[in-house]
Chains A and B, each alone.
Chain A
Amino acid sequence: SYELTQPPSVSVSPGQTASITCSGDQLGNKYTCWYQQKPGQSPVLVIYQDNKRPSGIPERFSGSNSGNTATLTISGTQAMDEADYYCQAWDSSTANVVFGGGTKLTVL
């Protein structure tokens, strides 16, 4: 089965740039999206189709996808960005939605 791998945790200082990676075999040939989940809340879509932002998502969130790695980048990270982040892709070969294991972003 297809797997997406994320680092368990990433730390960043306020105002700096955070990068969260998501790795999978030839992931660049698939479309990736990203969700933010704060404690006790439902996930929120922050990036879809590799690099598109839904309405209402701040411009500091951006995405890229190439080779075996997709990356969520948060520029000028704020304390409110502290959350778990999940990548997700559609694996057409198995007709399955695949989520990464999640990355806890700490802003300190």
Chain B
Amino acid sequence: QVQLQESGPGLVKPSETLSLTCTVSGGSISIYYWSWIRQPAGKGLEWIGRIYSSGSTNYSPSLKSRVTMSVDTSKNQFSLRLSSVTAADTAVYYCARESYSGSLNWFESWGQGTLVTVSS
């Protein structure tokens, strides 16, 4: 059973860059897609983007200009960087393993989530 664990600072200042890492255990990061999804308190889910084990990426059109994802297969980790953050980026951030084929997708395993607050 694959397990995912998010890590990173819980507090980020406005205009700075949010950085999170997801560590995958119980399975290889290879041959899968890996996504980041966030959820503001009391609100719904928002997809941020995905990365394949080869390093290819797809980002949400609404966040594309501020998002960078990377993968380190040697450490079984993938990462998220979100630049120029504002209070609107305050949310619980989840990493997830995704099944994706071009015409459909689903998120089959999720991390426990990590709260990131943007505040000075």
* Residues of chain A having any CB pair with chain B under 8 Å: 1, 30-31, 33, 35, 42-45, 48-49, 54, 86, 88, 90, 92, 94-102
* Residues of chain B having any CB pair with chain A under 8 Å: 35, 44-47, 58, 60-61, 94, 99-100, 102-108, 110-113
A91 to chain B, nearest CB (A): 10
Query: What is the count of residue pairs linking A and B with beta-carbon distances less than 8 angstroms?
Result: 59
| C-alpha gap A52/B42 in the complex (Å) | 28
Quick one: which of B60, B106, B110 contacts A96, CB cutoff 8 A? B60
Known: A42-B94, A96-B47, A97-B47. A49 touches B104 (CB 8 A): yes
Contact A43 B45 (CB under 8 A): yes
Name, among A45, A48, A97, the residue most crowded by chain B CB atoms within 10 Å (CB to CB): A97
